[in-house]
Amino acid sequence: MAKRITSGKREREKLKQTKRQDKQKKKEERLSGGSRSFEDMLAYVDENGVLHTTPQDVKPKEEIDASQIEISVPRQSEIEEEEPMSGRVEYFTASKGYGFIKDAAGSEKYFFHITNAPAGIAEGDRVTFELERGTRGMNAVRIVISNK
């Protein structure tokens, strides 16, 4: 008995045949094109890291005197001291050990801890203070009562 040939089998065979023919054509084109020369495979890199097919013009490099290169951080001639800010103690709780100072120049409030304040500080006192960055923002430190 002979095997049955269905239309699906015929279509698959045609597809396989066309793939084989395409592959054979590509192989012949590749072989007929000849081999690439070594120079065709080279790529040249310029001073900016860009690849080129042709070599770039070689420019003479600038000579730099190594003694003129500063390695360390240059010294500051003057360290500017910040003037202490002034304000008023807006809120203070001795039992919890913290308070807030309202800046006289603006409407900013700054947190302070009892360890950074003098012993006799109370609400309503006029104070001078400096600012330091804390974990939650700016903190008032080195607090001095200016007048009661």
Residue 32 neighbours by CB under 8 Å, 6+ apart: none
Chain Cα centroid distance, residue 8: 60
> How far is the C-alpha of 114 from the C-alpha of 117, rounded, in Å?
5
Could you tell me which of 90, 86, 104, 143 has the C-alpha nearest to residue 120?
A: 143
Q: Could you read off the pLDDT of 1-35 as tens digits, one per residue?
A: 577 888 999 999 999 999 999 999 999 988 887 77
Phi, psi (rounded to 5 degrees) for 95 = -65, -35
| Domains located in the chain, CATH noted | 85-147 (2.40.50.140)
The mean pLDDT of the chain is 86
pTM beyond 0.75: the answer is no
